[in-house]
Structure 1
């Protein structure tokens, strides 16, 4: 779905996010979830935003993924603790797709839902690569991303108070 459609069902995205990221190692609180979803309409308004929402047979939300192309004026690369080559930092609004969130509620994990969400989200994008951040203490997510072709390119944090995250990249041209 596009941004306006995602905003219409943002309660479903919020439910999945709140449940998935309340668990260790994230341990996000209700305040963290509220802060994240104050930004959701802004993210959904970015050019090229796309989202996928999975529901069970009864229509209950079970998983979600969303992201958007990284804009030329991004600060994402500036958050890396060690610089990467200038060629990697190059952004034109089409080169890199930023995978913002991918989560599946516990009862539906280990059933291929995350992989299907990931593949549906990226289906048909024109980007050369996909960039994401993942909590370094998480075990399942980075392992899944590695099996899907991602590799770690560094570590990043939004600001000095923010937790360190692993930055992973998937090259779509190979």
Structure 2
């Protein structure tokens, strides 16, 4: 078995903040593409949001490299008890469904791979490394519905995600699908 030339590094909490210079060039390259078409304002918003989110408990960043070259990244954190994530959905949810304790649900806020390395398993490795050892019950993310995002939709479906709602973050921003992956419960001590 040959070793993959793609390696993955992981940082936790405030360690993530020191990696902005590593992530930002990828962000600028990836998110300017359709359907996202992000510009100067969105890039500045990302930098501000990232600076805040790395302070959340158990925030985690993973970066994939090919021969030392950064080719993709993922960032997320367990949703805190006071999260507005589920309240922002257009669909009604139950209190039980929306209950968070900082350990129940990982919110993936970034998962992106540079174009030349897409459809090569890099996103799946980033996803796996982001979740590894967190012990969460489920994972959520928001994703755009446009046809250009079809490969991402296919990947998430293959990983077991299902759409549970939609979200329209602001008047000037497009709607997103809210996706949910329920993780298997480990059967420790089951006889």
The equivalent residue for 2:5 is: none
2: CA distance between counterparts of 1:83 and 1:100? 22
Matched, 1:10 2:20: yes
Q: Which moved more, 1:72-81 or 1:83-92?
A: 83-92
In the TM superposition, 1:7-86 aligns within 5 A as: 7-57=17-67, 59-86=68-95
2: CA distance between counterparts of 1:55 and 1:3? 21
The TM-score normalised by the length of structure 2 is 0.87
The equivalent residue for 1:144 is: 155
Which SS does the other structure have where 2:61 is aligned? Answer: strand
Q: CA RMSD in A?
A: 1.2
Unpaired segments of 5 or more residues in structure 1? none
Aligned length: 173
1:37 CA drift (Å): 0.9
The answer on whether the counterparts of 1:79 and 1:159 sit within 8 Å (CA) in structure 2 is no
User: Which one of 158, 169, 183 corresponds to residue 172 of structure 1?
Assistant: 183
Bigger Cα Rg: 2
The equivalent residue for 1:91 is: 100
Which SS does the other structure have where 1:99 is aligned? Answer: strand
1:120 CA drift (Å): 0.6
The answer on whether the counterparts of 1:18 and 1:30 sit within 8 Å (CA) in structure 2 is no
The equivalent residue for 2:4 is: none
- The C-alpha deviation readout for 1:18-38, integer Å capped at 9, x for no partner, is 111110000001221121111
1:95 CA drift (Å): 0.8
Ranges of 4+ aligned residues in structure 1 off by more than 2 Å: 159-162
The answer on whether the counterparts of 1:150 and 1:168 sit within 8 Å (CA) in structure 2 is yes
1: CA distance between counterparts of 2:38 and 2:139? 25
2: CA distance between counterparts of 1:116 and 1:151? 20
2: CA distance between counterparts of 1:53 and 1:12? 9
The answer on whether the counterparts of 1:65 and 1:117 sit within 8 Å (CA) in structure 2 is yes
